[in-house]
Amino acid sequence: MADDWELGFADEAGRHFARQYGLPPMTGRVIGWLLLCEPPQQTIAEISTALRASRTAVTSAIGELEAWSWIQRTRAAGERVDRVRLDPEVWQQLLDNQAEYTALDALARRGLEVMSGESAERRARLEEMAEFAKFLAEKMPALTGEWQSRVNALRAARKS
């Protein structure tokens, strides 16, 4: 079972991800737990016990995180249960998501096409959305490279 400080952090993470991203609080709690648990690979039963939550709630949260590629599942030979952990590259994945920016730009452009006869004032929000998506698509590759350099340095420092 988790110590009070661990459970407190997981609860805080649950509130953060709910507030900031609209995720169910349990999904955020699982993220919080996977950020600090030892060992970093946990079974659903271990997570449920640590968070004092139902297996159903944890399984649902894990499914959501797995769909977003935030976690990795493994199963050792001879084991009958999966172990999950946060994908070590999760932060890189959040930056390096060109398909998301392209899709957002395409949506804005489709909106602008159907609004072709409308006033500039009415089209302004979609124009800004399209420009925002274009901006992200242009800037994120450099940020992704900078982040990778930073995380490589952090990992190298941990090994020395």
b/e 113-145 (16+ beta carbons within 10 angstroms → b) = eeeeeeeeeebeebeebbeebbebbeebeeebe
* 0.85 surpassed by pTM: no
Q: List the domain range (segments joined by +) for residue 122.
A: 92-159
Pair 9, 82 in one domain: yes
pLDDT attached to residue 70: 94
Q: How many CB atoms lie within 10 A of CB 55?
A: 13
pLDDT attached to residue 99: 86
Mean pLDDT (whole number) for 45-53: 97
Pair 33, 55 in one domain: yes
Instruction: Compute the mean pLDDT over every residue in the chain, rounded to the nearest whole number.
Output: 93
**Domain count across the chain:** 2
3-class SS of residue 157: helix
Judged against a pLDDT cut of 90, whether residue 98 lies above it is answered with no
Judged against a pLDDT cut of 80, whether residue 121 lies above it is answered with yes
